[in-house]
């Protein structure tokens, strides 16, 4: 049994940093202490908890089952302490805080790019860390408090998480200006050319019907309406041929510029793709729009800084869509 009266709160902060960074060196840099101080603190924690907590491997410091079990509650306790000592108010202009956001490169190049310029003026002390929304342990990272928010398309959101719709994504077609399809952008024409699309993870990663389920959270795998495409082409007596499936939205302009590829991408990318000299047109068939949602753990809902940050993020996401109209 741990005697909390003799437990140094700094040990909990160091444990939390190690859980996030999985590195003694990086944790020390973030907290402003030496690596030897981190190692000494870890040994004290091991003594208090009678557990190794972290095992050193080539991949970094891997947490034990006990460490994973206590990580979430300890981080929540740290934030509760910060709220109590810091008061309920939040002043963006003078605040110092770091947020971890999971998002893909499309959201980074559009919504987050605008967010950063806004933060530089309104909240210069706010730092942002981006993590891939494609990671297989996304829900676990949110549960543990290692990711504050996730921006993406989700089919199911468990009750322990909260969400709000950030923007609506509608598919469009993109290709180089001299592409033959420009003369006849029809469903039949799409069947004659290799297609490019974004697929964030395939069946080998456990994707089922375009989504991957992990700890109750189903996140999007295919970033386009595959069923609508296949149905439309089947009606024209054709089948889609994917000349390129990639997890990277922002790699597509360079690949389209000198190829016969025709890309199916979210319309949110229209300004960027047109700026790269590509043609962007509506789909020649009906497809369902998808709602991109901002997701966070329910425990963060009372955090004034978190509330301000996600409100800012939501407003900017909606601005990006409004400007497409």
DSSP state of 308: H
CB 69 within 8 A of CB 62: no
User: 196 pLDDT exceeds 80?
Assistant: yes
pLDDT in tens, 144-175: 788 999 999 998 888 889 999 999 999 999 99
Topology agreement, domain 9-86 and domain 171-287: no
pLDDT in tens, 200-218: 765 444 566 668 887 788 8
Look-up of token digits 């210069």:
124
- Output the CATH code of domain 171-287: 3.40.190.10
Picking from 40, 1, 3, 2, the residue whose alpha carbon sits closest to that of residue 18 is 40
The arithmetic mean of pLDDT across residues 225-250, rounded, is: 94
The fold for domain 98-168+291-322 equals D-Maltodextrin-Binding Protein; domain 2 (3.40.190)
Tokens of 179: 């592409």
pLDDT in tens, 297-312: 887 887 889 999 999 9
The fold for domain 9-86 equals Arc Repressor Mutant, subunit A (1.10.10)
Buried b (16+ CB within 10 A) or exposed e, 97-123: bebbbbbbbbbbbbbbeebeeebeeeb
CB 224 within 8 A of CB 265: yes
CB 18 within 8 A of CB 33: no
Domain boundaries, the chain: 9-86, 98-168+291-322, 171-287
């Amino acid at each position: 049994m741990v005697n909390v009266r003799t437990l140094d709160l700094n040990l909990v902060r160091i444990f939390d940093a190690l859980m996030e960074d999985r590195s003694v060196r990086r944790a020390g840099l973030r907290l402003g202490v030496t690596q030897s101080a981190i190692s000494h603190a870890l040994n004290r924690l091991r003594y208090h908890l009678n557990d190794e907590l972290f095992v050193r491997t080539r991949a970094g410091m891997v947490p034990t089952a006990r460490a994973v079990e206590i990580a979430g509650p300890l981080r929540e306790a740290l934030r509760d302490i910060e709220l109590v000592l810091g008061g309920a108010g939040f002043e963006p202009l003078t605040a110092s805080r770091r947020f971890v956001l999971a998002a893909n490169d499309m959201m980074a190049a559009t919504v987050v790019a605008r967010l950063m310029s806004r933060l530089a003026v309104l909240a210069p002390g706010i730092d942002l860390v981006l993590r891939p929304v494609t990671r297989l342990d996304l829900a676990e990272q949110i549960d543990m408090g290692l990711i504050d928010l996730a921006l993406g398309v989700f089919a199911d959101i468990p009750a322990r998480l909260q969400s709000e719709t950030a923007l609506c994504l509608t598919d469009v077609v993109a290709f180089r200006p001299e592409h033959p399809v420009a003369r006849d952008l029809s469903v039949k024409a799409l069947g004659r050319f290799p297609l490019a699309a974004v697929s964030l993870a395939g069946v080998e990663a456990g994707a089922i019907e375009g989504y991957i389920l992990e700890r109750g959270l189903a996140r999007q795998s295919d970033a386009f309406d595959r069923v609508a495409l296949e149905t439309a082409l089947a009606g024209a007596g054709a089948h889609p041929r994917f000349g390129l499936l990639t997890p990277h939205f922002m790699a597509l302009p360079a690949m389209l510029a000198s190829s016969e590829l025709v890309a199916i991408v979210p319309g949110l990318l229209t300004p960027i793709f047109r700026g790269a000299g590509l043609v962007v047109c509506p789909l020649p068939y009906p497809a369902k729009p998808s709602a991109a949602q901002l997701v966070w753990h329910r425990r963060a809902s009372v955090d004034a800084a978190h509330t301000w940050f996600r409100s800012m993020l939501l407003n900017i996401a909606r601005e990006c869509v409004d400007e497409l109209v």
